[in-house]
Amino acid sequence: MAEPGLVISCEHAVNTIPHAFQKLFDGREGVLSTHRGFDPGALDLALYLADNLLAPCFTTLISRLLVDHNRSPQSHSLWSEFSDALPQEQKQKLLDSYYLPFRAMTGDWIHSRISRGCGIIHLSVHSFTPTYNGKIRDFDIGVLYVPSREKERDFGRAWQANIKAARPDLKVRLNQPYRGTADCHQATYRHAYSTRQYLALELEVNQRLLNKQTRKWQNTKTSLLKTFKQTFAFCFK
- pLDDT tens by residue, 78-134: 999 999 999 999 999 999 999 999 999 999 999 999 999 999 999 999 999 999 988
My answer on whether omega of the bond before 130 falls inside 30° of 0, hence cis, is: no
Q: In 39-134, which ranges are E strands? A: 57-59, 118-128, 131-132
- pLDDT tens by residue, 59-83: 999 999 999 999 999 999 999 999 9
Domain extent for 141: 2-232
CATH number (domain holding residue 41): 3.40.630.40
Closest C-alpha to 212, from 31, 3, 19, 44: 44
Give the pLDDT confidence score for residue 23 in this predicted structure: 97
3-state SS string over 108-147? HHHHHHHCCCEEEEEEEEEEECCEECCEECCCCEEEECCC
Give the pLDDT confidence score for residue 215 in this predicted structure: 85
Residue 141 reports pLDDT greater than 50: yes
For residue 195, being part of any structural domain is answered with yes
Give the pLDDT confidence score for residue 1 in this predicted structure: 44
Q: Amino acid identity of 178? A: Y
For residue 237, being part of any structural domain is answered with no
Q: In 70-209, which ranges are E strands? A: 118-128, 131-132, 135-136, 141-144, 172-174, 198-206
Q: What's the mean per-residue pLDDT of the chain?
A: 95
State the total domains in the chain. Answer: 1
